[in-house]
Amino acid sequence: MAPKRAWQRMLSGRRLDLLDPTPVDIEIADIAHGLAFVARWNGQTRGDYAYSVAEHSLLVETLFSRIAPSAPVKWQLAALLHDAPEYVIGDMISPVKAAVGSGYGALDDRLTAAVHLRFGLPAVLPATIKRQIKRADKVSAWMEAVQIAGFSEAEATKFFGRPDAGLMEGLTIRLRPPKEARDEFTRRHADLMQAMG
């Protein structure tokens, strides 16, 4: 019996092996395109467009920069790419991840390491940076829950914690066509890569 296919052909022409991903098969155009078409909250959000993982990633990078304003640019890039594996494995809501079990986490970890290495980051982030990105991710989740996913503030706070209002000042959830989110994600990635020089 032939082995089951474990790779996906990307729009760039790359074949990404999901079980053994290599940095050479990772392209930012594929990540940006995929994330722009993956809906957060399983698409259960208000508005005429899905709230994409690309849009979420841009918000998390902004929030991370507010949480850690003196962090080196490479950690801003890590924040932007924190959900990059979802360009091939999708965005599973937490209850589904719990039901799937540890296999999802292992797959996510392998893809994350390949993405990080491709863009000059360590395969595994320092624990402090990972915690700060996770904090930004939770603030973003709270904002999304309240602004577009139908949660009350009390309910969002129960699941994600109450964020510091100062971190969210002037920020709102943006719903826009996937092409716009894709293009902004690509631009931001290019800016950060250039700043890392």
Give the Cα separation of 166 and 179 in Å (integer). 30
Domain that holds residue 164: 23-196
Asked if pLDDT for residue 143 goes beyond 70, the answer is yes
> For the whole model, what pTM was predicted?
0.94
User: pLDDT digits over 83-137, tens only?
Assistant: 999 999 888 777 777 777 777 888 899 999 999 999 999 999 999 999 999 999 9
**Does 99 map to a domain?**
yes
Give domain status of residue 2, yes or no: no
Element (H, E) at 69: none
pLDDT score of 94: 74
The 10s digit of each residue's pLDDT in 24-42 is: 999 999 999 999 999 999 9
Q: Is residue 16 part of a domain?
A: no
Question: pLDDT band at 70, cuts 50/70/90?
Answer: very high
Asked if the structure places residue 48 within a domain, the reply is yes
Structural domains of the chain, count: 1
In-domain check, residue 101:
yes
Amino acid at 143: M
Helix (H, G, I), strand (E, B) or coil at 7: strand
The DSSP H or E segment spanning 160 is: helix 153-160
CATH code: domain of residue 116: 1.10.3210.10
- pLDDT band at residue 54 using 50, 70 and 90 as cut-offs: very high
User: Following CA atoms 9, 13, 15, 18 in sequence, which dihedral angle do they give, to the nearest 10 degrees?
Assistant: -60
| 14 assigned to some structural domain | no
pLDDT band at 3 (very low <50, low <70, confident <90, very high): low
Q: What is the pLDDT of residue 53?
A: 98
63 domain residue, yes or no = yes
Q: What is the pLDDT of residue 106?
A: 86
Residue 95 has a pLDDT of 74
In a domain, 117, yes or no: yes
